[in-house]
A and B are shown apart, each in its own frame.
Chain A
């Protein structure tokens, strides 16, 4: 955390005092600082408040840039997952920081980045590097990146040295950006992520039902219904120790007369047999020189992992070797609709020196085969301010 926070402070220090940096003889230096405040709430009794700050300093002439970001998540939850284990509402704080440095003096560039996330029962750090290469007078850009992460999962109130387990993840990303014409840009990428280690959560207990009872347990059952079905045991979550994930994604942006249209799609598959598809569309309309209005629509659907069961079957002596209560590993779909307003507040000579963005998204989630929940409605509102020099 200290390393990332230091980098963030360095970046923000330059961001708030770019004139001073310029006086030091660094040439055409530009900087940007932004702050976002967001609030999330859903019908599963989860609320999250997230303030964050970020900074960016670059010298376009020399080709280098430095970025830093820091955020705090304050989470309050009394979701059905928590209530079903007879736990009271809890509140938790997560802090996360990241830093990135890039150097691209010509057609060839490189970047390195690192991040750290800390909460009482979860510690994660990651580092990565990438290289970029422009071809055909920057009509085509290639990027290849590698990232490594190490996550430690523990229990709140118990030191990691007493109880914890870990998993590592390696990611390789290859992408190409094509300028299709003077108004259209297309980016296509392929990602491979290899996860190794135990990702099971130590709080998550899964009810196991007798063979004759399990088929009659309905989706979205109440706690009383589950109790009445008399689970033969409640066992801790157990996930496979390896997961290989593959993603292919594409993003198309086209400038129209007074608007920008963006369409994105991604197809996903992994070795746990989950398959997923994402479609995302945005239209950003220019109302005048300072104001723009955006509309957002997103669709997501996934199939369950191979060991997903609405109600696991077993006996006190024999339980399924793999089991999970993570509803985001089951079959589900999300539909998100949102709107965004952007206003440039700077002086007439440079209106984008100060930018205010306000966005709201509402998401409906349908869980097709979950023990405790069948649907969720959530809303996310965010306001951000960005200043640039």
Chain B
């Protein structure tokens, strides 16, 4: 039980730390925003530079089953192995 409590505390601490780091990084990135001309966009036009999700249909389905925050609707209910 004590081990469970420590794991939960550690997970929460990591989550808080990661949230703060992401926030600072995002603010820093916006502040550093530069104007990019159309002829300079060869690299960002690559398919793997898209801001859309790169995961396939099945991987998205697995995520919606495994993560309570993503879990909503039919995709999450199907394949969860739950009643």
Contacts and interface: CB of A to CB of B under 8 A. Distances in A.
A38 B56 contact: yes
Interface residues of A, number: 105
B75 A96 contact: yes
A180 B29 contact: yes
A250 B69 contact: no
B58 A36 contact: yes
B57 A36 contact: yes
Nearest to B17: A277
B67 A182 contact: no
Interface in B51-71: 51, 54, 56-59, 61-62, 65-69, 71
A40 B54 contact: no
A87 B69 contact: no
B8 A331 contact: yes
A226 interface: no
B58 A50 contact: yes
A253 B48 contact: yes
Contacts of A260: 46, 48-49
A182 B36 contact: yes
B2 interface: no
Contacts of B41: 179, 182
A363 B56 contact: no
A38 B57 contact: yes
Interface string A90-117: 0010101000000000000000000001
Given A117-B75, A252-B29, 19 more contacts: A40-B58, A46-B79, A75-B78, A82-B83, A87-B83, A117-B73, A117-B78, A138-B38, A181-B34, A182-B36, A186-B26, A253-B48, A253-B51, A260-B48, A276-B68, A301-B11, A330-B68, A368-B4, A380-B59
Interface of B: 4, 7-8, 11-12, 14-15, 18-19, 22, 25-26, 29-30, 32-38, 40-41, 43-44, 46, 48-51, 54, 56-59, 61-62, 65-69, 71-83
